[in-house]
């Protein structure tokens, strides 16, 4: 079980969906104090810890966790910092084990979880497809120097939908993906073709 500490509701939801796509389950906390309250009730295999949260932030919560672990001589829980500004020294000083940058893409999440929970991950071809589409969209947008807001305007969709496609969240309709790829002048017909084939089999990008 993974604990996701994040004050933004949408990002909490996205993190949980990404964990599901990787074959893992998760619970959430909105701030550092909630993290400590959940840890008092159960153990977690790993914590994804947002650094900037209201009240008790990620650094403070991690320090409190490490103090509790030392006092009780209990097993060290891996804590992965999720931050918009990477400061390795500050993360390590606070007791974090690793960190990833925001926004948390499923590729990054898979990499860090493979490092800390190598035997827990499972994937299937449908999840790989969703992830491949997201990666292709993200890279093409960056090549063109466009923001998500600009892509959303071009495609007639919301910025949230563009974000979710790039994140590899599996419940995006194919028409949305098609509109985004057209807006980016992408040659991803093969990806869309595979997605359409899977949808006919009943294994749509999110059922």
Condensed to tens digits (0 to 9), the pLDDT of residues 154-168 reads: 989 989 888 888 877
Residue corresponding to tokens 């990787």: 22
For residue 153, the SS3 value is: helix
Please report the pLDDT score of residue 204 as a whole number.
Answer: 38
More confident call, 170 vs 88: 88
Distance CA(97)–CA(48), nearest Å, equals: 11
For residue 155, the SS3 value is: helix
Say if CB 106 and CB 134 are below 8 A apart. yes
85 with 181, same domain: the answer is: no
142 with 74, same domain: the answer is: no
Look at residues 29, 51, 13 and name the one whose alpha carbon lies nearest to residue 163.
Answer: 13
End position of a domain, from candidates 85, 116, 147: 116
100 with 61, same domain: the answer is: yes
Pairing state between β 46-50 and 26-29: unpaired
pLDDT tens sequence across 31-47: 999 999 999 999 999 99
The whole-angstrom distance between residue 53's C-alpha and the CA centroid of its chain comes to 17
Report the range of poorest mean pLDDT among 9-23, 124-138, 160-174, 183-197: 183-197
Place 120 in a pLDDT band, splitting at 50, 70 and 90: low
Tell me the pLDDT of the chain averaged across its residues. 80
Q: DSSP per residue over 84-145, as a string?
A: SS--HHHHHHHT--EEEESS--HHHHHHHHHHH-TTT----HHHHHHHHHHHHHHHHHHHHT
Using the predicted structure, report yes or no on whether residue 190 has a pLDDT greater than 50. Answer: no
74 DSSP 8-state letter? P
Does any domain span residue 205? no
157 with 89, same domain: the answer is: no
Overall average pLDDT of the 44-55 stretch: 92
Domain total for the chain?
Answer: 2
Residues of the chain above pLDDT 70, percent:
78
Place 106 in a pLDDT band, splitting at 50, 70 and 90: confident
Q: Hey, how many other C-beta atoms are within 10 angstroms of the C-beta on 155?
A: 20
pTM for the whole structure = 0.62
Residue 192 dihedral angles phi and psi, to the nearest 5°: -65, -40
6 with 102, same domain: the answer is: yes
Residues of the chain above pLDDT 90, percent:
32
End position of a domain, from candidates 116, 142, 162: 116
Using the predicted structure, report yes or no on whether residue 206 has a pLDDT greater than 50. Answer: no
Distance CA(177)–CA(112), nearest Å, equals: 27
pLDDT tens sequence across 10-29: 888 888 888 887 888 899 99
Domain that holds residue 169: 125-200
């Amino acid at each position: 079980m993974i604990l996701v500490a994040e004050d933004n509701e949408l990002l909490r939801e996205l993190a949980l969906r990404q964990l599901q796509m990787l074959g893992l389950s998760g619970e959430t906390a909105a701030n550092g104090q909630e993290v400590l309250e959940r840890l008092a009730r159960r153990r977690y295999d790993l914590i994804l810890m947002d650094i900037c949260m209201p009240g008790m932030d990620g650094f403070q919560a991690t320090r409190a966790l490490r103090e509790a672990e030392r006092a009780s001589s209990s097993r060290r829980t891996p804590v992965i910092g999720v931050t918009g500004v990477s400061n390795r020294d500050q993360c390590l000083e606070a007791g974090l084990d690793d960190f990833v940058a925001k926004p948390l893409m499923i590729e990054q999440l898979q990499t860090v979880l493979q490092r800390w929970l190598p035997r827990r991950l499972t994937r299937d071809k449908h999840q790989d497809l969703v992830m491949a589409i997201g990666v292709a969209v993200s890279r093409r947008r960056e090549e063109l120097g466009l923001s998500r807001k600009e892509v959303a305007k071009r495609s007639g969709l919301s910025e949230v939908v563009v974000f979710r496609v790039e994140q590899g969240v599996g419940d995006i309709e194919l028409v949305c993906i098609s509109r985004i790829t057209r807006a980016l002048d992408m040659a991803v017909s093969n990806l869309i073709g595979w997605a359409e084939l899977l949808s006919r089999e009943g294994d749509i990008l999110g059922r």
